[in-house]
Structure 1
Amino acid sequence: MDRLIFVGLSRLAPSTLNALTIVKPETVVRWHRAGFRSYWRWKSRPRSGRPTVAVEIRRLIREMSIANPLWGAPRIHGELLKLGIEIGQTSVAKCMVRRRHPPSQGWRTFIRNHADGIAAIDMFVVPTISFRLLYGLLIMGHRRRHILWFGVTAHPTAEWIANQVTQACGWEQAPRYLIRDRDGAYGEVFIRRLRSIGIRDRPTSPRSPWQNGYAERLIGSIRRECVDHVIVFSERHLRHLLLSYMKYYNEMRTHLSMEKDAPVPRAVERAGYINCRPVLGGLHHQYVRI
């Protein structure tokens, strides 16, 4: 049969003999086998069966697998069923992102899981109208970056700072770790008080303020949004300003890092008239619906 085919080709198209002169017989056999496979693949193509997965669903499955590296196909399949998306579990497994290594959480997730037990402490200087220097002490939590405590004094000592930490955190709600710089005011009394409460002291490296970035950023906000626009008269005046700012910062001020929400979450108000209330004597305003 092969000979008859080649004889027929040579009769119909004699120029094909020129092409055969540069092709080995093994090549012709390989072409025949490839054509055989292609023919039966076309013959056996599925004419019905499982429908194809839409592009939007495939994209959603990939986003789920990337955002949740610890989830497998059954977990993602269950979430899709709860969203009203009817799809097979095997189809979900085919659309998931392939990983070379075992799944691992990201650094952002790791830090957020431990932020609830971390607090930061730092001090800043504010001049008064009589050119005296007052020291402000702030303690903030890393979980929602909320301010836990403000203290004001003209002579910061280790015993005074230890008392401020005790009043801010108490003996039952103390954080697990406290980040601070290496200021000489944090003396032995302060360190012993932390150990007695059960707080682990974590001083930053020398000349490394970025290691306590949340507190440093908060001090910058206090200066830009409050004390740089006010002349402080006394300790009582500064304490009143800082407490007013703490209420504004925790309950009203929106933060980019928290998706435009306040440390104390604010509910979205959609009904009523918008009312403007001055805060800090008019430096800032609160907008609410009434």
Structure 2
Amino acid sequence: MLIRFVFLAVAHAFATLRLLPMTDREKDVEILALRHQLAVLQRQLGDQRLQLRPEDRAFLAALLVPLARSMLHRLRLLVSPDTVLRWHRELVKHRHACASANRGPGRPRTLASIRRLILRLAAENPSWGYRRIHGELALLGIKVAPSTVWEILKAAGVGPSPQRTTITWANFLRSQAEAILAMDFIETVTLSGQRQYILAAIHHADRLVRILGTTAHPTHAWVAQAVRNLLMDLEDSENLSQIRFLIRDRDAKYPALIDNILNDARINTVLTGIRMPRITQSWNAG
């Protein structure tokens, strides 16, 4: 039926193109001739019902239903407007029945996007078990059974959370690259012999280095303003919402004020030299 319906639609589309070069008078004449032929056909049929194939009913329903009921009653049709509307209701009912039919035994397969999200949550949160992941999915409005989460993790070779909590510093950086910035001072000497301090930041995901400024005297006020400028640049580029950590060393040139500036932007400062478990706990708490 579908193939015959498509054939009818294509054939009538080409027929529509034939009408384009015709004048309005020529179209009116053809319409009057067609209406008269329908009247002759109805007179010959008498009490007999016209036999239409399913594709004919589907085509007429799709073509005529957008018209108002009052307009349908003014058209000369081989069937009544109520019959056309009934055909359309039956088509819609059949389509919904096919869409909701059970495609096969057992539960339907979980959407690929949900499977990827479950594996991502497991990779980025090594301390989360399948029940914790199920709870986080429920908060996002995603309804899956805890057993489904467990099966997806098992099929992907992801072990239980106690076996995944041990994570190295390198693995942490790779898994959280989108959320990490690193900042450091670079010392250089100009041709005139003057020592300059360059403050630079790098985004771990794209390895993009941002030069925040250069000065011979990196005062606390200068460093704080450079950090503010960095946050404004990140906000303009819509990357600020992804950043959660800024890694820096314990250089005395960094004022304590910049931690407050970063906290206001929901960015945690991570000092180099801190053991990895403390960083993991800070991230999980966020």
Same fold by TM-score greater than 0.5: no
* TM superposition score normalised by structure 1: 0.33
* TM superposition score normalised by structure 2: 0.34
Q: Which has the higher contact order (CA 8 A, sep 6+)?
A: 1
More helix by share: 2
